[in-house]
Structure formats: structure tokens, C-alpha cells
């Protein structure tokens, strides 16, 4: 099977797997893993493992860590240093120590199944200490929990695990060969790693903004993308050369770009690379699972699955509690990190190559690690329910938080509920306060909430997309609700809850553009404010006033555009500099069609063509220098220019109807 055959097989299998799991309302990640199991060498044998495939798949983790780095900054990382070098280091060291104790005890009690020395137990402990950066980070991102207290703890531990891989990869072969220069080797590796991180974090920070400014001034989307790939892969290459992981370098690169004004553009551009390659990574993980071995040694694989996951969960939860986290945060941190990780496979393969482990035992441990990654999305999805059952006071903690919100709003009526207390939410709160209108805000960033509460803001920790939070904040007594962040899925959940709890409550929703305008209106939004549309209106109004148009006429035009729900502004002519639409992007666009002598629409009226059934509007028809009103009775002629408005797909169908 050549490279093209393998690529087509992986792509087709991935598409079918993701479609099936989406229909079952399961995480797409599981679809990739199951696809890998089925087509891999231990399944139907359609695809074989190769180093090239694994190396390509590893870039998925690289781009994922780069995206996560975009959510952080150097200042935020410094504020997390206690969690990274405190909790993270403790987790790795204690996990290795406990794994060594358990491994040696198992070898003593079950010599027929576990015949390992202390060097092998150390290698197994290092592998067990690793957690899956790819799975956990992706799940936290999808659940919008990266900024939550447990999300920060989890990311901190994952970062230290990436750092710990380097000394572990040095120590395992040194211990196996009983080398005497271990300290010197570790010191040399640590020095190289520290130097590279210093260059990236401090010199890179000074160079990044200036270099991006030079690239952006060239006004080339192609150059911008090439530069982005160069920085991401270049930083990953540097850290790998220093003995660190590729993913750590990509994380640092993302963190540096997060402090520039190009963060959001970079985030959109990198998304397609990340998702495709990350899917390939999960497929390669699934290909490692040997189902025949699992069936033949089922009880042993089950033991090797349950025991490490439970041990790791309990250990991490206990350590997180020791480091001052609440019980619920500690339990969620333990659940998030209980599975095996990608670097665990690297350490395990190294131990196998050094003949530290019996080949059969190695395969059984490998199978249990893959299974732990396979069940991880289910554990994370049910983490709230698990924590509620395990923690006797968790429901009391949540009830207390809701009670505190309710206590603040108990005597408040006709107030405005602000969902999200970012920059937009804070600006709205300031204007409401100046007009002596009460408000109550909900947000999920504990640092922001603490700072704002000290300053006297009426903001509480809570998720506006949860029924309990809305009830606690007094939705039945509120005058309006404003969603100040641009997350359509969350806004739709809020609108659904408002429809159930207080159907007459006006809801104003912020959106990025007009892509989801109709969807949000249909869900019950009283007003949808697309920030790109409003920005266009403000630019136009200032320009018209400066050009001498009477202020009253300008205000009338702006108000008319708003009254008609931005209908006249919807759609625009796309160019090479515009982001390419994704498969789910339903953004309206304008497109011109010139009718040539062979066009089949010549002599027909717009009513005859019935373009409305294709969900396309004709916004204008230009004939020579004249702009004609697109009446349904208008007969089209040769050389007419027809301006269409619709999605990319619907406009393409309409063009076919006009010309062929």
C-alpha cells in the first residue's frame, strides 16, 4: 500500500467514524480511536503502523499544544508556577515511587505473571505518571473548562509531565546499563533545556511582535500562514533538539503569540491543521490495541486497567488537596489525569527495547493504557456526576455558591442579568450603573471575579448556561438578560433555559457576525448584535457625518439598518484575504454573475428562475451603467450583471441555474 492509498484509507475511515459517533452523540475522539482499532494491524489489517505515520500524527499534538498556548501568557504561566513545579513535580515523583512499590510487590506475590526488577518498575512508574495531553486538553477545550480551577491544575500538571519526560528518557537506559555518569548526563540535558526555554521565553517575546508586524505589512495570507507554520514547527524543533518534547516548544510559541494582537487570526488559521492531524494521532493510538490479546488475557488486562487508573486518580486527588485545592477541584483534577498518556508509550517502548520487561507483559500493559485513553472521554464527560457522588459536601458547596448568588439578588427586581463579565460585560455593567439600573453578572473566571468583587462589581461565579445559576440570579424577577460573549452553542443553551423559566424575558445576544443570526433569532433572541455589522455601521456613520451628510439622516439610516435586522448589510464579496469557509460555516456572501450569450436565463424573469427555492436572494441587477431594482417581473438580458446573496453552496447552485 503506497502513501496515497494509506492517506485515502485513513481519511475515509475517519470521516465514517466521526459521522457515526456524531450521530450517536458521542465525542468524535472516540470515533478516531475505534477507527484505529478496526483498520489497524490487530483489527482488519487494512493499515499498518509506520514511523512516518506516527511522526505525522505527532504534529496533531504539536498544533493542539500551540492552540492551548494561545490561551495563556507568560504572566499567567508565572502565576501558575506553584501548580506546575509543586503539584506537577509531586505527582510525577510520588506516582513513580508508588508504582515501584506496587510493581515489586506484584513481582513478589505473582511471580508467574509479574517478573520485573526495580529498574523495570521505575520505567513503568514513569510511564504511569504520564497523562494524555491530547485527550485531556481537547476535552477541556470543548467543555470550555481551560480557565476553570481544575482546568488550570490539570494543564499545570501536564506541562510538568512534558518537562519530566526528558530526565526519565535519560535515566531509564542509564539505570538499565548501570552507568556511572548519570548525574553528568542529567546536568548537561538540564542545561540545554534551560537555555532553549530562556531563549524562547525572553528573547522570543521581544522578537515575536516585531516579526509578525513585518509579515503582516506584506498583506499576504499565504505568507502569514507560512510564517505561522515556521514559528510553530521551528519552536517545536528547537525544544526537541534540546531533549524536550515537540509539544512543549509549540506551547511556548503559542504563549508568545498570545501576547500579540494577531492571536485571534492565528487561532483561526491553525485550527484546520490541528483538527486533521490530531484525528490522525488518535487513529494511530487506536491501531496499537491488540484485541486478540485483550480477549485471551481479559482478567489481567482488566486488572492492569482498573488498578493504575484508580491508583492515579486517588493519588492526584490527594496531592491536589494537599496543595490547597477544594475537594471538588481535587477530584476533578484526579479524574482528568487518571488515564495513560502519549509519552507513556515512548517510555514503555524504551523499556521494551532495553529488555527490562517481558514482551507479553509489555503488550498487556500497552493494551491497558490504550483502553484507559479510550474510556477517558466518558470519565471526563461524567466528571460532575462522579464528583457529586464521591464528595459528600460537593452538593453543599454548589448549593452554597448558588445561595450566595441568590442572597445577592434576593431583594433585586427588574435587574439585568449579564452572562459573561469580560470586557463587553464590564462595559455594559458600567453604563447600567451610571443609569442606576441594577445588574447581576455571572462569569467562570475566578481571578476576574475576585478582582471585580473587590472593586464593588455585582458579579458571581456561575455558568449562565445552567438552570440552577439562572434561578439563583433571579431570572423570574429580571428585566432583561444579555449574553456578552460570542459562543453560539452556549447562547443557544441559555435561550432554551430562558424559554422554559421566563419566556417573556427579553434576551440580547452578542455574535461575531451574521453567520448564526437566524439560528439565534429562531431560538428566541429578542435582539442579536453582530459586532462586525455594528462596527460597519459606526464606520459608515462617522464617514457620512465627516462628509457633510446631516446627522439626522445618518441616525435614520443606522436605525433603519438595525430595524431591518441588518438585512441590507448581510453578505459581502469574498476575496483571497478572507478566511475560507469551513464545512459548518453558513455565512452569507455576495457573488456577481455576468450573463453571457449562452446563458439559459436570458429572456426569463426572476420569477421564472425561482432562485428563492435555492435560498438565494437577488440583491441587484446592473445593466450597463444602470442599477435596476430586482423585481420578480424583471426580464434578464445578455451582459446583465446579477448580484446574488447566499451561502457558498447555494450561490454556486444559483449560478448554475442562471448560466446552464
Cβ atoms of 306 and 369 closer than 8 Å: no
For residue 519, count other CB atoms closer than 10 A to its CB.
16
Angle at 292 between CA 365 and CA 23, to 5 degrees: 95
More confident residue, 536 or 184: 536
Q: What is the pLDDT of residue 393?
A: 57
Q: What is the pLDDT of residue 92?
A: 92
Does domain 396-523 fall into CATH 3.40.50.720?
A: yes
The fold adopted by the segment(s) 589-659 is: Alpha-Beta Plaits (3.30.70)
- 397: helix, strand or coil: helix
Q: What are the tens digits of pLDDT across the range 244-253? A: 767 778 888 8
* 212 closest CA partner among 251, 249, 252, 265: 265
The C-alpha cell at 526 is: 429578542
Q: Residue 398: which pLDDT band, with cuts at 50, 70 and 90?
A: low
Cβ atoms of 595 and 635 closer than 8 Å: no
Q: What is the pLDDT of residue 56?
A: 67
Q: Residue 65: which pLDDT band, with cuts at 50, 70 and 90?
A: confident
Q: What is the pLDDT of residue 565?
A: 64
Task: Report the share of the chain in percent with pLDDT over 90.
Answer: 9
Q: What are the tens digits of pLDDT across the range 587-630? A: 677 888 888 888 888 888 888 888 888 888 888 888 888 888 88
Q: Residue 450: which pLDDT band, with cuts at 50, 70 and 90?
A: confident
Calculate mean pLDDT across residues 111-119.
68
Residue 460 has pLDDT above 90, yes or no: no
Calculate mean pLDDT across residues 466-480.
85
Q: What is the pLDDT of residue 335?
A: 92
CA–CA gap between residue 599 and residue 332 (Å, rounded): 63
Question: CB burial class (10 A; 0-12, 13-18, 19+) of residue 253?
Answer: buried
Q: Beta partners for 528?
A: 509
Helix axes 531-546, 551-563, angle to 10 degrees: 160
Residue 577 has pLDDT above 50, yes or no: no
What DSSP assignment string belongs to 163-225?
Answer: HHHHHHHHHHHHHHHT-S-HHHHHHHHHHHHHHHHHIIIIIHHHHHHHHHHHHHHT--HHHHH
More confident residue, 436 or 148: 436
Q: What is the pLDDT of residue 482?
A: 94
Q: What is the pLDDT of residue 579?
A: 46
Angle at 314 between CA 312 and CA 318, to 5 degrees: 115
Q: What are the tens digits of pLDDT across the range 1-46? A: 676 787 788 888 888 888 888 787 677 777 888 888 888 888 888 8
In this predicted structure, which of 149-153, 488-492, 584-588 has the lowest mean pLDDT? Answer: 584-588
CA–CA gap between residue 39 and residue 45 (Å, rounded): 6
More confident residue, 76 or 575: 76
Q: What is the pLDDT of residue 166?
A: 66
Q: What is the pLDDT of residue 568?
A: 60
CA–CA gap between residue 279 and residue 276 (Å, rounded): 5
More confident residue, 401 or 509: 509
CA–CA gap between residue 444 and residue 421 (Å, rounded): 9
Q: What is the pLDDT of residue 1?
A: 64
Cβ atoms of 490 and 465 closer than 8 Å: yes
Q: What is the pLDDT of residue 129?
A: 92
What DSSP assignment string belongs to 459-504?
Answer: EEE--TTSHHHHHHTTTTT-SEEEE-S--HHHHHHHHHHHHHH-TT
Q: What is the pLDDT of residue 592?
A: 86
Q: Residue 417: which pLDDT band, with cuts at 50, 70 and 90?
A: very high
CA–CA gap between residue 30 and residue 18 (Å, rounded): 8
For residue 269, count other CB atoms closer than 10 A to its CB.
16
CATH number for the domain running over 52-390: 1.20.1530.20
pTM over 0.85: no
Calculate mean pLDDT across residues 273-279.
77
H helices present in 258-297, as ranges:
263-286, 291-296
More confident residue, 497 or 213: 497
Amino acid at each position: 500500500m503506497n502513501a496515497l492509498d494509506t492517506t485515502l484509507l485513513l481519511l475515509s475511515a475517519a470521516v465514517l467514524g466521526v459521522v457515526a459517533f456524531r450521530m450517536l452523540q458521542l465525542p468524535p475522539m472516540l470515533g478516531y480511536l475505534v477507527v484505529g482499532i478496526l483498520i489497524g494491524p490487530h483489527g482488519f489489517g487494512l493499515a499498518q503502523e509506520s514511523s512516518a505515520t506516527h511522526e505525522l500524527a505527532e504534529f496533531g499534538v504539536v498544533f493542539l499544544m500551540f492552540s492551548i498556548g494561545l490561551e495563556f501568557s507568560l504572566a499567567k504561566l508565572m502565576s501558575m508556577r506553584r501548580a506546575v513545579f509543586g503539584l506537577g513535580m509531586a505527582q510525577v515523583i510520588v506516582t513513580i515511587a508508588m508504582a515501584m512499590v506496587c510493581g515489586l510487590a506484584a513481582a513478589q506475590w505473582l511471580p508467574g505473571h509479574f517478573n520485573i526488577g526495580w529498574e523495570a518498575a521505575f520505567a513503568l512508574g514513569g510511564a504511569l505518571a504520564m497523562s494524555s495531553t491530547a485527550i485531556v486538553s481537547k476535552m477541556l477545550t470543548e467543555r470550555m473548562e481551560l480557565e476553570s480551577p481544575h482546568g488550570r491544575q490539570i494543564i499545570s500538571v501536564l506541562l510538568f509531565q512534558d518537562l519530566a519526560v526528558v530526565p526519565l528518557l535519560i535515566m531509564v537506559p542509564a539505570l538499565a546499563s548501570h552507568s556511572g555518569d548519570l548525574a553528568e548526563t542529567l546536568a548537561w540535558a538540564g542545561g540545554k533545556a534551560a537555555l532553549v526555554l530562556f531563549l524562547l521565553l525572553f528573547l522570543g517575546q521581544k522578537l515575536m511582535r516585531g516579526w509578525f508586524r513585518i509579515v503582516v505589512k506584506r498583506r499576504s495570507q499565504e505568507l502569514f500562514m507560512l510564517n505561522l507554520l515556521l514559528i510553530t514547527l521551528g519552536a517545536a524543533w528547537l525544544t526537541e533538539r534540546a531533549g524536550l518534547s515537540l509539544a512543549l516548544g509549540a506551547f511556548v510559541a503559542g504563549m508568545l503569540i498570545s501576547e500579540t494582537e494577531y492571536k485571534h487570526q492565528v487561532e483561526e488559521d491553525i485550527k484546520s491543521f490541528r483538527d486533521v492531524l490530531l484525528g490522525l494521532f488518535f487513529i494511530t493510538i487506536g491501531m496499537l490495541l491488540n484485541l486478540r490479546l485483550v480477549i485471551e488475557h481479559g482478567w489481567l488486562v482488566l486488572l492492569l486497567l482498573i488498578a493504575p487508573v484508580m491508583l492515579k486518580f486517588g493519588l492526584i486527588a490527594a496531592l491536589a488537596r494537599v496543595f490547597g485545592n477544594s475537594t471538588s477541584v481535587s477530584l476533578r483534577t484526579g479524574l482528568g489525569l487518571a488515564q495513560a498518556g502519549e509519552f507513556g508509550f515512548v517510555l514503555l517502548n524504551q523499556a521494551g527495547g532495553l529488555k527490562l520487561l517481558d514482551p507479553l507483559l509489555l503488550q498487556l500493559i500497552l493494551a491497558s493504557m490504550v483502553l484507559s485513553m479510550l474510556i477517558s472521554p466518558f470519565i471526563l464527560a461524567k466528571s460532575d456526576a462522579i464528583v457529586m457522588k464521591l464528595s459528600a459536601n460537593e452538593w453543599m458547596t454548589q448549593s452554597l455558591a448558588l445561595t450566595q448568588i441568590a442572597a445577592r439578588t434576593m431583594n433585586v427586581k427588574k435587574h439585568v442579568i449579564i452572562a459573561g463579565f469580560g470586557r463587553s460585560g464590564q462595559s455594559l455593567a458600567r453604563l447600567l450603573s451610571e443609569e442606576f439600573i441594577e445588574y447581576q453578572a455571572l462569569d467562570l473566571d475566578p481571578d476576574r471575579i475576585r478582582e471585580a468583587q473587590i472593586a464593588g462589581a455585582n458579579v458571581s461565579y456561575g455558568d449562565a448556561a445552567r438552570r440552577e445559576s439562572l434561578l439563583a440570579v433571579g431570572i423570574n424577577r429580571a428585566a432583561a438578560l444579555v449574553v456578552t460573549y460570542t459562543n453560539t452553542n452556549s447562547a443557544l443553551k441559555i435561550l432554551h433555559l430562558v424559554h422554559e423559566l421566563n419566556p417573556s424575558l427579553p434576551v440580547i445576544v452578542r455574535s461575531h457576525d451574521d453567520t448564526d443570526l437566524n439560528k439565534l433569532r429562531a431560538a428566541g433572541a429578542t435582539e442579536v448584535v453582530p459586532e462586525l455589522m455594528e462596527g460597519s455601521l459606526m464606520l459608515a456613520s462617522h464617514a457620512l457625518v465627516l462628509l457633510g451628510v446631516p446627522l439626522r439622516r445618518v441616525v435614520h439610516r443606522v436605525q433603519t439598518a438595525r430595524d431591518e435586522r441588518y438585512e441590507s448589510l448581510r453578505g459581502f464579496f469574498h476575496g483571497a484575504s478572507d478566511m475560507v469557509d469551513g464545512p459548518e460555516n453558513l455565512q452569507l456572501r455576495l457573488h456577481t454573475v455576468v450573463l453571457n450569450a449562452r446563458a439559459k436565463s436570458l429572456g426569463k424573469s426572476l420569477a421564472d428562475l425561482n432562485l428563492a427555492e435555492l435560498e438565494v436572494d437577488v440583491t441587484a441587477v446592473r445593466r450597463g451603467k444602470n442599477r435596476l431594482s430586482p423585481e420578480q417581473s424583471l426580464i434578464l438580458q445578455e451582459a446583465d450583471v446579477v448580484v446574488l446573496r447566499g451561502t457558498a453552496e447555494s450561490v454556486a447552485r444559483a449560478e448554475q441555474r442562471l448560466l446552464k
